[in-house]
Structure formats: structure tokens, C-alpha cells
Amino acid sequence: MNGSVVDILIYVFDQYMLTDHEVVPERDALADDLERAGFGRADVERALDWLADLAGERHREAVAEIASDDDGAVDAPAIRIYVPHELERISTESRGYLLGLEEQGILSPSQREIVIDRLMALDADDVDIERLKWLVLMVLSSQPGQEHAYALMENLVFDDQAPTSH
């Protein structure tokens, strides 16, 4: 198989998060499972590091910020200015897609920043919209209290629809 880190992340999410698995295996067992599935060890380790970082302290702080900002008030519109290295790695189409998700209320500005951070951590230039959808779904699934946003995003992933800007 020998897929990219993004392919491994999607595989893990599909196999363990979207199914009836009671418990996700420990890191070493999961790495062995992924190698048996045909993924290379170096990419497996990078994917598992990516997942560990998503669950890490920095993102828990962002989740706490999201929870404290959730008072029902509408945030003032803001424009996200991408720095040059983000512009090189995140396509215009992907940036537009993230904006659409934010306009629809699926992503908050803080969640958008987590998604951008996780995109940049991939160190990959091949993240198309389909893979971006999965990454957004992974970010939302890692945050408590985001069931509605997760359900909306899940519909976009599986129904293959694009968010519409109004």
C-alpha cells in the first residue's frame, strides 16, 4: 500500500474512529497494525506523532478557549492573513474551503487555526479538498462539545458536497 501520512491518518480514522471499535490500540500495537496493512514505518510514526500532537497540551488550550468563547454570541468577522510559507503549502482552493466552513459555522476561528496548524505539521504538498475534509473531521472529533459541527462535517465528507458561502 505505502501511502502518505494523510492516507494513514484517514485509514486510522476510518478503521478505528468511525467503526464500533471499543478501544483504539496502544501506539505500538497500532503501528504494527498499520505496517501489516502495508504502510511504511517512517510514515506510520509521523502519522502517530501527528495524532499525538492533535491530542496534546497546545490543542487542549485551544479547546478550552473555544469552550469559553461559546456564549452564543456571533464573533465579529475577521480575515485570516496567511503567511508566505502557509500560502506555499495550502492551496487557494483549500483556503477557500476553510473559509466556507467558517462561514457556515462548522469551524470557529480557533478551530480553523488548529486545522491550519495540523495541515502545516503534515509537511505535505498533496492535501487536496477530500483529504482536507478528513483532517477537519479529525480535528472536530478531538474536541468535546463539537458534536453538531462534527455531524455537519461528516455529511460533507460522505455526501461529497462543498460548503456554500452566503
Return per-residue pLDDT of the chain as tens, 166 residues. Answer: 456 899 999 999 888 876 665 677 889 999 999 999 999 999 999 999 999 998 886 555 655 555 455 554 545 567 889 999 999 999 999 999 999 999 999 999 999 999 999 999 987 776 889 989 999 999 998 888 899 999 999 999 888 655 555 4
Question: What pLDDT, on a 0 to 100 scale, did the predictor assign at position 60?
Answer: 57
Closest to 79 (Cα-Cα) out of 52, 109, 56: 109
Q: Which domain holds residue 107?
A: 76-166
Same structural domain for residues 96 and 152?
yes
Tell me whether residue 68 is in a domain. no
User: Does a structural domain hold residue 117?
Assistant: yes
Instruction: Compute the distance between CA of residue 166 and CA of residue 44 in angstroms, rounded to an integer.
Output: 40
- If asked whether residues 153 and 99 sit together in one domain, one would say yes
105 and 158 co-located in one domain: yes
DSSP H or E run through 137: helix 129-141
Whether residue 91 is contained in a domain is answered as yes
Gyration radius (Cα) of the chain, Å = 16
Mapped onto helix, strand or coil, the DSSP state of residue 78 is coil
Q: How far apart are CA 49 and CA 92, in angstroms?
A: 27
Q: 38 and 93, same structural domain?
A: no
Residues 165 and 87 in one domain: yes
Show the cell assigned to 58. 497546545
For residues 153 and 117, state if they share a domain.
yes
* Domain annotation covers residue 93: yes
What would the grid cell of residue 38 be?
A: 502495508
In a domain, 64, yes or no: no
Q: What is the pLDDT of residue 45?
A: 94
Is residue 38 in a domain?
Answer: yes
Query: Does 7 share its domain with 80?
Result: no
Q: Which of 165, 159, 153, 144 is nearest to 63 (CA)?
A: 144
For residue 143, the model assigns a pLDDT of 86
pLDDT of residue 159: 82
> Looking at residue 57, what is its pLDDT?
60
Q: What is the pTM of this model?
A: 0.78
Q: Which three cell numbers stand for residue 121?
A: 505539521
Cell of 3: 501511502
- Count structural domains, the chain: 2
Q: What are phi and psi of 72, to 5 degrees?
A: 85, -10
Q: Are residues 85 and 160 in the same domain?
A: yes
- Decide: residue 54, CB within 10 A, 0-12 exposed, 13-18 middle, 19+ buried: buried
Same domain, 126 and 90: yes
Residue 125 inside a domain? The answer is yes
The 10 Å Cβ neighbour count of residue 39 is 22
State whether the Cα torsion 5-47-163-75 is positive or negative. negative
Residue 137 lies in a domain: yes
- Res 20: pLDDT: 61
